[in-house]
Amino acid sequence: MSIQLKKILVATDFSEHAQLALRYGVEMSKQFSAELLICHVIPYPDLISQLPPTAEAYIPSNIHEMHVRTAEEQGQKLIDEHCQGVKASFQFRSGSPFVEIVRLAKDDDIDLLIIGTHGRGAVAHMLLGSVAERVVRKAPCPVLTIRSGQHDFVHP
């Protein structure tokens, strides 16, 4: 039995951990001649919406549009800098990160989902939870979690 990967999804928050996950995604896309989809989720409602009403005067009214524009620019930059030789695209979603990542994996019939994990301590994990952990539990496909500091690519 052989494994065929046609579509690989890399979820990114543009952090260092996500950059490493993208490296794995690009290499696996090359090995399997798979399409690579990079996704960023803008948490919605934004943290700004949870601030007291008095803070609204100091927040730009187009904050969501600013987040979208920044995400699109950063996504295109990832593709330009890291995805040579791979059929890659970028997509952003708004909502709960783990819900939107799982939804995208289902909607696009993803074969493998790759996500970086921060490797928080036990107490922080219990209090904050983990997007990666929730994705692993709910994803419709295999999930590869990447933790920085564990392994680096070595080119011969």
List C-alpha distances in Å: 60 to 52, 55, 56, 57, 81: 15, 10, 8, 8, 31
| Residue 8 identity (one-letter amino acid) | I
pLDDT at 45: 60
| pLDDT value of position 30 | 95
pLDDT at 151 exceeding the cut of 60: no
C-alpha to C-alpha distance for 93 and 27, rounded to whole angstroms? 24
How high is the pLDDT of residue 47?
55
pLDDT higher than threshold 80 for residue 79: yes
Q: Per the structure, how many domains does the chain have?
A: 1
In a domain, 90, yes or no: no
156: in domain: no
Instruction: Supply the range of the domain harboring residue 11.
Output: 7-85+96-147
Q: How far apart are CA 96 and CA 49, in angstroms?
A: 14
Q: Is residue 111 part of a domain?
A: yes
Dist CA 128 CA 120 (whole Å): 9
Whether 16 maps to a domain, the answer reads yes
Domain containing residue 123: CATH number:
3.40.50.620
With respect to residue 141, please indicate whether it lies within any of the assigned structural domains: yes
Is position 26 within any domain? yes
Percent residues over pLDDT 90 in the chain = 42
The model's pTM: 0.80
Q: What percent of the chain has pLDDT over 70?
A: 75
In this structure, is residue 91 part of a structural domain? no
**Joined tokens for residue 148:** 């920085």
Distance CA 115, CA 131 (A): 9
Using one digit for the tens of pLDDT, what is the confidence trace for 31-58? 999 999 999 998 876 555 566 666 555 6
H or E, element range at 79: helix 63-82
Instruction: Find the mean pLDDT for residues 91-115.
Output: 93
pLDDT at residue 125, rounded to an integer? 45
